[in-house]
A and B are shown apart, each in its own frame.
Chain A
């Protein structure tokens, strides 16, 4: 097969003759352009979008989750928050207490009271004194509570999506969760959401 260098020499006009193109080089060029076009069609188009996998339901996780979601929505970005595992308890209605049918599910819901208002801290819990102190500090510094930020994010178009599998696992029904959520989805849909997002986070 001819090298690139040789082809370039052949394509150069020779004295007294019209420039000629090597048909093999031409075919190779066309093949490469087609391959590039195909790769571009199959390529991933990133969108101005933030996806958060809200895994943690603790106050010091759900707070940054809601701050980033509301800020991105306020900046005109598309926002999807996918609630899974302990993150699901952050979108349980505040008036719902024990959820699930199996005693293990009931036990887990007893240990993870719903809504960010009752969320625990991952450290310095101090039997509830930790979250109370953090909320006091936040109020002094005029930082919005996560439950308010969640409402703001939703109001500004952020999509809040529960994970179907973990809902089933933890025994959470659609009626146990707050209003205004998207339909529950699975892992593949979450991956698709992340693949197209310019930013994806796991909190």
Chain B
């Protein structure tokens, strides 16, 4: 598995907190870097894919199987 450059822990944050935290972390990352986002906001399940489409970054992994904590891996464009 590819190396995660950074984990953004947005557990407990509500909309638009997780996306704002992810976008800020992405701003400091290099193109191609993989970032992991942890969120508990149920809205993130639709919002993270929407954000990826809007921002042009690639959503490479989604794991919503864990109870209450959703995990996303994004590759910076």
CB contact under 8 A between A142 and B14, given known A74-B51, A75-B54, A76-B55: yes
Tell me the nearest residue of chain A to B51, going by C-beta.
Answer: A75
Chain B count of residues within 8 A CB distance of the other chain: 15
User: Which A positions have Cβ atoms within 8 angstroms of B?
Assistant: 67, 70-77, 141-144, 149, 152, 156
Q: A15 → chain B, closest Cβ, in Å? A: 57
Report chain B residues within 8 Å CB of A156. Answer: 20, 23-24
How far does the alpha carbon of A74 sit from the alpha carbon of B55 in the complex, in Å?
Answer: 8
Among A67, A75, A141, A156, residue most surrounded by chain B Cβ atoms (within 10 Å): A75
- Asked if residues B55 and A71 are in contact (CB atoms below 8 Å), the reply is no
Q: B44 → chain A, closest Cβ, in Å? A: 12
Report chain B residues within 8 Å CB of A149. Answer: 16
**Which residue of A70, A73, A74, A143 contacts B22 across the interface (Cβ within 8 Å)?**
A74
Q: Is B19 an interface residue (CB 8 A)?
A: yes
Tell me the nearest residue of chain B to A66, going by C-beta.
Answer: B16
- Asked if residues B54 and A67 are in contact (CB atoms below 8 Å), the reply is no
CB contact under 8 A between A70 and B20, given known A142-B12, A142-B13, A142-B14: yes
